[in-house]
Structure 1
Amino acid sequence: MPVEWQPVQQSRTHELVLRSIEERVFAGELRAGDRLPPERELAPVLGVSRSALREALRVLETIGVLVAQPGRGPDAGARIVRNPDDALGRLLRLHFALGSYSLHDVLEARVLLERSSFEAAARHAPADDLDAAERLVEGMAEPGIGVSGFNDLDTRFHVLIARSSGNALTSTLTSAVRESVRPLILRALEAADDWSATARALNADHAALLALVREGRAAGAADLAERHIRGLHGTLVEGPAAS
């Protein structure tokens, strides 16, 4: 029986550099806080051009694994970091815009994540985090607050509760999912017939959620979080934006 040959997969040079760096991270040889050697030293060691090395470093910076400081001095160069929130949020927002996920998918993901976040926060949230959440609720109650400012504080409130839950991955995913629909939620708020009444109703939920978390009423906080999310976000799924 004749052998069937298949073309070998070719990798671009910067992908080989990425693979080399990833292998060292997986092996524990590179950890958060470690600095990579300068480009002029690392490129020849890896046997690649400095342009290929820079392309690989840019990819790592985009996905939140590396931060690069140009120039000279003790802070210059590339350093391994743990910063998944912004990178994951940006990636999810792009995929959502491209239609990789439907509004309904995002809604159900938010419900699952935030039910878990509020339930865990009611059991584990530090007092300092709840005090910070209180200040956000107070900010959303300020007379004359605009839609954009409210939406920003609203996002920070939900992300803060997720972080206070004690689960870093839940926090990151909650932040990414909430950020992915921020523009749509902003447009929905701007289209409200009575913005003042809408803001008061939404913030009444925030105040009630915070009270439940402070009282340690985990199940009640989870249930209200779901009703709160299905309220405004649910109208997005049912409305024209769902198409």
Structure 2
Amino acid sequence: MSVEWGPVRQSRTHELVLESIEKRVVAGDLKAGDRLPPERELAPVLGVSRSALREALRVLETIGVLVAQAGRGPDAGARIVRHPDDALGRLLRLHVALGSYNLHDVLESRVMLERQNFQGASENAVQEDLDEAERILRLMRAPEVGAAEFSDLDTQFHVLIARTSGNQLVSTLTSAVRESVRPMILEALEAAPDWPAAAGALNDEHTELLRLVRAGEGARAADLAEQHIRGFHGRLVVDET
């Protein structure tokens, strides 16, 4: 029996650099705060060109695990960091826009995450967190606040609640999912036929959510969070069948 052969896949050079750095991170050789050697030293050690090394470093910056500072001095060079929130949000927003994920599934995921967040916040939030949440809600109630500013403050409120829930991964996922639908949320807010009435209704729900969290009524807060999200996001989901 004859065997048919075909070309093997050749990894691009920067992918090999990424693999090398990833292995060091997984092994614990590289940790958050560590600096990579200068390009002129690291490239020959890895046996790659400086352009291939730079391409790999740009990928790591994009996914939020590295920051590169140009110039000279103690802050120059590439440093390992932990900034997953913005990176995951950007990535998920692009995939939602490209249709990689069904919008209905994204919104259902947000419901599950927010239920967990408000339940957890009612058990773990400290006074400082609650005071900050109240400050955000005061800003949202200002009569001069338009849809764009309202949307930004709404994001801050929900992300703050997520961060007080006691689960950092759930917090990061919440931030990413919320960021992925930010353009659609803003569009829906701007399309409200009666903006003051719409803002007032949403503010009332936010106020009650915070009251339940303060009171430690996690189950009721979780139920209201689901009602709050479904009531608003129901306008965004288009029947794709």
TM-score (norm 1): 0.96
Please name the residue that 1:174 is paired with.
174
**What letter is aligned with 1:83?**
H
Task: Give the structure 2 partner of residue 92 of structure 1.
Answer: 92
User: What code does the residue aligned with 1:199 have?
Assistant: A
**Is the counterpart of residue 194 in structure 1 residue 194 in structure 2?**
yes
Q: Deviations over 1:13-58 (max 9, x none)?
A: 1011000000000110000000000000000100110000000000
Alignment of 1:39-118 (within 5 A): 39-118=39-118
Match of 2:131, as an amino acid?
Answer: D
- What is the one-letter code of the residue matched to 2:76? A
3-state SS, counterpart of residue 144 of structure 2 = coil
Gaps spanning 5+ residues in structure 1: where?
Answer: none
**3-12 vs 153-162, which moves further:** 3-12
After TM superposition, list the pairs within 5 Å mapping 1:204-243 onto structure 2: 204-238=204-238
In structure 1, C-alpha distance between the alignment counterparts of 2:44 and 2:103, rounded to whole Å: 48
SS of residue matched to 1:29? coil
CA separation in 2, counterparts of 1:152 and 1:131? 18
Deviation per residue, 1:192-243 (Å, 9 max, x gap)? 111001001001110000000010001000000000000111111158xx69
Distance of 2:199 and 2:100 partners within structure 1 = 31
SS in 1 for 2:75: coil
| Distance in 1 between residues matched to 2:46 and 2:22, nearest whole Å | 13
Provide the rounded CA distance (Å) in 2 between the counterparts of 1:20 and 1:238. 44
Q: Could you say what the CA RMSD is over the residues aligned between the two structures, in angstroms?
A: 1.4
Partner of 2:8: 8
Unmatched segments (≥5 aa) in structure 2 = none
CA distance in 2, matches of 1:32, 1:231: 41
Q: Give the letter for the 2:37 counterpart.
A: P
Deviations 1:95-141 (A, max 9, x none): 00001112211110010000000001101112111111010011100
Q: How high is the TM-score relative to the length of structure 2?
A: 0.97
- Deviation, 1:6, is 4.9
Q: Given residue 74 of structure 1, which amino acid in structure 2 is its aligned partner?
A: P
SS, match of residue 234 in structure 2: helix
Correspondence for 2:160: 160
SS at match of 2:68: strand
Q: Tell me the CA shift for residue 72 of structure 1.
A: 0.5
Match of 1:22 in 2: 22
2:123 & 2:145 partners in 1: Cα distance?
Answer: 32
Across the two proteins, how many residue pairs are aligned to each other?
Answer: 241
